[in-house]
Amino acid sequence: MSMSMGGRGGGGGMGSWRRDTSVVDHRLAPGTTRRILAYARPYRFLIAWFLAFVVVGALLVVATPLLLQRIIDDGVGNGDKPLVVFLASMIAVVAVGEAAINLLQRWFSSRIGEGLIFDLRTDVFTHVQRQSIAFFTRSQTGSLVTRLNSDVIGAQQAFTSTLSGVVSNIISVVVVLATMFTLSWQITLLALAIVPLLLLPARRVGRRLAGLARRGMELNAELGNRMTERFNVAGALLVKIFGDPQRESAEFADRAGKVRDIGVRTAMSSRVFFASMGAMASLATAMVYGVGGVLTIEGTVTIGVLVAFAGLLGRLYGPVTALTNVQVDVMTALVSFERVFEVLDLEPMVVDPSDPAALPAGPLSVEYDDVRFRYPAASAVTIASLDSARVVDGPDDEEVLHGISLRVEPGQVLALVGPSGSGKTTLASLAVRLYEPTGGTIRIGGVDLRDARETAVHGAVGMVTQDAHMFHDTVRANLDYAAPLGAEISDEAIWAALTAAHVADVVRRLPQGLDTVVGDRGHRLSGGEKQRVAIARLLLRAPRVVVLDEATAHLDSESEAAVQRALDEAMSGRTSIVIAHRLSTVRRADVIAVISGGTVREQGTHADLLARGGLYAELYRTQFAVDPASATTP
C-alpha cells in the first residue's frame, strides 16, 4: 500500500510555491480589508454555503480510513460477512458523497468567483473610461489590461481557492490528528516527527521556484510584448520596410530560448520537489508499517488501525505542507485586490458638476477667456506601476498656454495657425474638454465647460484629428459608434453621411460594403478614405461645434481635396475651430488666430493679417513663396 501526498484538503499544489514569497513583506494600504469585504457582501450567503460544504468535505477525510479499520478488525477479523458488505457499501456511499460535495463546492466557487470577476472588471473598466486623456498618454496599456485580467482573477481567488484551501486544510489537520491520537498516540508522534523532514525541502524548493516563476513571467512578458509590437499593422509595416528577417528571427529565437531554458529549470525544480515529497512519504510509510507492525505483533494496535493510519497519513502531510505557505497565498490575493483598488482610487481629472448646467439650443459660440494651461504631472493622472516610464515625476511648472482670449460666434470659423508646438492642439483639446484649463474659462454657448456634463459637451462638440482612429470592426460598426446613447442609426442615415463626406462610392466598392472589416486602426483604408469615413462619423453625431485638428495633414493633393470637400460639408452651418499647417485651408476663416509660444500673437482675417506683414504673413510667404503684399484671398 502506497501513501499519496494529495488527499482531500491538500489544496494549493505547486501553484502556491511558484508565487513570489516576497509578497508577505508587503504592507497593505489602510482600509483594504474593509473594501474587500464590501465586494464580498453581495455573496455572503453563497460564501456561507460554500464554506459549509468545505467543512463537511474536510470532515469526511477520516471516514474512509476508519471504515477500512472496521472492515478489517470487526468484519474480517470476526468473519462477519454482512458487516464487511455493509461497511464496504458505506465506503462507496462516502466516495459518492465526497464527489457530490466536490461538485457543490465547485458550483458555489464558480458563482462567487465569476461574480467577483464581473464586479471588479466592470468597475475598473467603467472607472478607466472616466479618466482624462492624460491618463492614457501616461499609462502603459499592457499594465492596465493586466489589472483587468491577472490581478482581478488573483483577487477573486481570495474568496475561492485561498479561502477554501485554508479552511479545509485547517479542519483536515485537526480532525486527522485527533483521529490518529485516538487510534494510537505512539504512531501519531512518530508521524509528526517526519513533518520537519517534509517542510525542509518544501521551503527551500519553494523559494527557488518562486524566483524562477518571477523570472519566467518577466521573460514571457518581454516575448509577448515583442510579438504584439511586430504583429500589429503599424509594427509589421515598419518591419517590412526597415527590418531584417534574419535579425528579427535571431532576436526572437534568443528571447524564446531564454523562456525555454527557464521552463526547463522550473520543471526540474518541480520534479525535485515532488521527488523529495515522495521520498519523505515513502519513509513515513515505511516507519509507520515498521513501528506499527511491531506494535500489532505485540497486540498494542490492531491490523485495522495500522491500515487506517496508512490512509490518514496521506491526508495529513498534504494539508500540513500547504498550510506552511498559506501566508503567501493570502497575501498574494490581498495584494491583487490592492492593485485593483489603486486604479479605482485614481480620481479623474475631468469630473461632472453636482448640478450641471444645460447647453443652450441652436448654434453655439466658443469663447476662451484668459485661458492658461499646463499639462499635469504623471502623479496627478496615473500611478507609478502604470506609467510607461515606470516613474511618477513631480509637478511640471511649465505653462504651455499663457492667458489666451479668443471668441468665435455661432456659425463662424476660427482658424488656429502657428509653428509646431505653439499650443494649437492644446487649445482644441480644451474645447472638447479632454483637459481642464488650469486658469481662466472656456465657454460654449455662454456656459462654462466645467459647469456642463461631459456627455453633453461631447454631444455638442465633435472632433476630427489628423489620424482618425478606426476600431478593428466593420465600417457600419465604426459609424454606429457615433450614435447618441440609446439611439439607432439607419442605413439611410449612414449612406447620407457617407455621401456628404464624399466617401460613399469608396464604401460601395468594398467587398462587403458597410459590413467590410476595416482592419487594425482602419489600415485597409487609405489615409484620405479613413479621414472621410471619420468625417461621416462626425456628421452622424451632428455636433453644433466642429473641431478639426490637422485633418488634412499627411495627405496627398488628391486626397486632401476630397477630404477638404468633406470638411466643407461638416463645417456648413456649424461653429468651427480649424487647425492646419497648410494655410490654404484657412484663408476663408472668419477669424484667424496666430498662436506662438502659448500666446495669441495676431488675430484677424486673412487679408488683414497679410496686410500687417507680421508672423502670419511670414508663415504665408514661407509656405507659398509669394509676396504677401500682392497676395489676394481667393
Residue 572: exposed, middle, or buried by beta-carbon count in 10 A (0-12, 13-18, 19+)? exposed
Q: Which distant-in-sequence residues (6+ apart) come within 8 Å of 285 by Cβ?
A: 1, 2, 3, 310, 313
More confident residue, 563 or 189: 189
Position 327 scores a pLDDT of 66
Residue 418 half-sphere exposure toward CB, CA atoms < 13 A: 21
Measured CA to CA, the distance from residue 562 to residue 614 in angstroms comes to 32
Cβ 179 vs Cβ 63: under 8 Å: no
pLDDT at 422 over 90: no
Position 196 scores a pLDDT of 75
Position 634 scores a pLDDT of 36
Measured CA to CA, the distance from residue 538 to residue 531 in angstroms comes to 10
The DSSP secondary structure of 114-133, one letter per residue, reads: HHHHHHHHHHHHHHHHTS-H
Q: Provide the grid cell at 49.
A: 454555503
Position 96 scores a pLDDT of 93
What confidence tier does 553 reach under pLDDT thresholds 50, 70, 90?
A: low
Position 448 scores a pLDDT of 92
* Structure confidence by residue, pLDDT tens digits, 611-632: 888 888 888 877 644 444 444 4
pLDDT at 394 over 60: no
* Structure confidence by residue, pLDDT tens digits, 116-168: 888 888 888 888 888 888 788 777 776 777 777 777 887 777 777 777 888 88
According to DSSP, the residues that pair with 604 across neighbouring strands are 592
What confidence tier does 473 reach under pLDDT thresholds 50, 70, 90?
A: confident
Q: Which residue has the cell 509507520?
A: 288
Q: Highest mean pLDDT range out of 70-74, 131-135, 280-284, 345-349?
A: 70-74
Taken in order 265, 267, 268, 274, the sign of the CA dihedral is positive
Position 25 scores a pLDDT of 54
More confident residue, 586 or 497: 497
Q: What percent of the chain has pLDDT over 90?
A: 8
pLDDT at 477 over 60: yes
Lowest mean pLDDT among 371-380, 383-392, 546-555: 383-392
Measured CA to CA, the distance from residue 484 to residue 525 in angstroms comes to 25
Which helix (H) or strand (E) is 467 found in, with range? Answer: none
pLDDT at 71 over 50: yes
Position 367 scores a pLDDT of 92
Position 633 scores a pLDDT of 40
Position 441 scores a pLDDT of 93
Position 9 scores a pLDDT of 42
Position 6 scores a pLDDT of 43
Residue 89: exposed, middle, or buried by beta-carbon count in 10 A (0-12, 13-18, 19+)? exposed
* Structure confidence by residue, pLDDT tens digits, 307-355: 888 788 778 877 877 776 676 667 777 777 878 888 888 888 888 888 8
At residue 517, the 3 state secondary structure works out as strand
At residue 335, the 3 state secondary structure works out as helix
* pTM of the predicted structure, to 2 decimals: 0.73
Position 368 scores a pLDDT of 93
Position 521 scores a pLDDT of 75
Which helix (H) or strand (E) is 556 found in, with range? Answer: none
The overall average pLDDT reported for the chain is 79
What would the mean pLDDT of 229-241 be, rounded to a whole number? Answer: 72
More confident residue, 195 or 393: 195
Which 8-state DSSP code applies to residue 359? P
What would the mean pLDDT of 78-82 be, rounded to a whole number? Answer: 84
Domains and CATH numbers, the chain: 16-344 (1.20.1560.10), 369-385+394-471+544-630 (3.40.50.300)
Cβ 437 vs Cβ 522: under 8 Å: no
Lowest mean pLDDT among 90-94, 466-470, 496-500, 549-553: 549-553
Measured CA to CA, the distance from residue 134 to residue 225 in angstroms comes to 23
More confident residue, 430 or 227: 430
Q: Provide the grid cell at 464.
A: 476630427
